[in-house]
């Protein structure tokens, strides 16, 4: 028997995304955003409140990088979700992480996160019930150490973490449980 949990809009799992931008002075800003996902093969939708420093920077620079948080830098990733760039001048500097300029877009790449997507802003959507940014991925970069033999990233090797909103916790990614577009073939 199922028990009512009340109004709880929790989708699991959610990736822990590090969205990095430059402000008007070229200063690095990074935020932790779990509410992001693919919306097309080369596009992401990032659901961010319009008042975030990152939102302001995205409007200004029309670009960002999106990295997957990893277990090795969980303390820093969590901090990026706790501190606001609107009030904390040295937010990025406090973490001790390092950034380099993306070659594809006007945004920083945080060197410590092993997988990062370089993105350009396509559209800002603002309705009564939704505020988000749609970005196009121009390139995805991955450390060679997290690639499998086929040249594709392994999220387990990358130490990527997921956000569990039911428990307000981060979880690691295990090995695969099945192959997409294959498991259901027996029912076709």
The pLDDT of residue 76 is above 90: yes
pLDDT of residue 95: 97
Average pLDDT of span 158-165: 93
**Residue 3 placed within a domain:** no
Domain span at residue 38? 14-187
Average pLDDT of span 30-51: 94
The pLDDT of residue 175 is above 80: no
Name every residue whose Cβ is closer than 8 Å to that of residue 55 and which is 6 or more positions away in sequence. 48, 49, 133
pLDDT of residue 29: 97
The pLDDT of residue 23 is above 80: yes
**Residue 110 placed within a domain:** yes
The pLDDT of residue 47 is above 90: yes
Query: Residue 171: which CATH number?
Result: 2.30.110.10
Between these two residues, 187 and 143, which has the higher pLDDT value? 143
**Residue 9 placed within a domain:** no
Q: What is the mean pLDDT of the chain?
A: 94
Closest Cα to residue 65, out of 37, 38, 101, 90? 101
Name every residue whose Cβ is closer than 8 Å to that of residue 158 and which is 6 or more positions away in sequence. 68, 70, 114, 115, 142, 143, 146
pLDDT band at 12 (very low <50, low <70, confident <90, very high): confident
Average pLDDT of span 7-11: 80
pLDDT of residue 104: 97
Average pLDDT of span 11-32: 94
**Residue 122 placed within a domain:** yes
The DSSP secondary-structure symbol of 7 reads S
pLDDT of residue 58: 97
Closest Cα to residue 91, out of 116, 110, 115? 110
**Residue 92 placed within a domain:** yes
pLDDT band at 6 (very low <50, low <70, confident <90, very high): confident
Q: What is the pLDDT of residues 94-103, one digit of tens each?
A: 999 999 999 9
Name every residue whose Cβ is closer than 8 Å to that of residue 143 and which is 6 or more positions away in sequence. 114, 115, 158
The number of domains in the chain is 1
- DSSP for 106-159, please give it: SSEEETTSSEEEEEEEEEEEE-SS-EEEEEEEEEEEE-GGGB-TTS-B-HHHHT
Average pLDDT of span 151-157: 94
- Whole-angstrom distance, CA of residue 49 vs CA of residue 59: 13
**Residue 2 placed within a domain:** no
Q: What is the pLDDT of residues 139-149, one digit of tens each?
A: 999 999 999 99
pLDDT of residue 7: 85
pTM: 0.94
């Amino acid at each position: 028997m199922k028990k009512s949990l009340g109004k709880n809009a929790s989708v699991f799992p959610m990736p822990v995304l590090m969205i990095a931008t430059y402000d008007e002075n070229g200063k690095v800003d990074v935020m932790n955003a779990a509410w992001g996902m693919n919306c097309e093969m080369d596009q992401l939708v990032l659901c961010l409140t319009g008042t975030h420093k990152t939102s302001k920077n995205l409007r200004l620079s029309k670009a960002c990088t999106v990295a997957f948080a990893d277990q090795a830098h969980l303390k820093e990733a969590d901090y990026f979700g706790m501190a606001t760039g609107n009030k904390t001048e040295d937010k990025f500097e406090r973490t001790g992480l390092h950034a380099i300029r993306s070659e594809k877009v006007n945004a920083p790449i945080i060197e410590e996160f092993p997988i990062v997507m370089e993105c350009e802003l396509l559209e800002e959507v603002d309705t009564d019930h939704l505020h988000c940014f749609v970005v196009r991925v121009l390139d995805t970069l991955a450390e060679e150490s997290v690639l499998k033999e086929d040249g594709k990233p392994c999220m387990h090797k990358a130490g990527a973490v997921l956000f569990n909103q039911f428990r307000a916790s981060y979880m690691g990614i295990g090995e695969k449980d099945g192959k997409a577009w294959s498991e259901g073939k027996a029912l076709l």
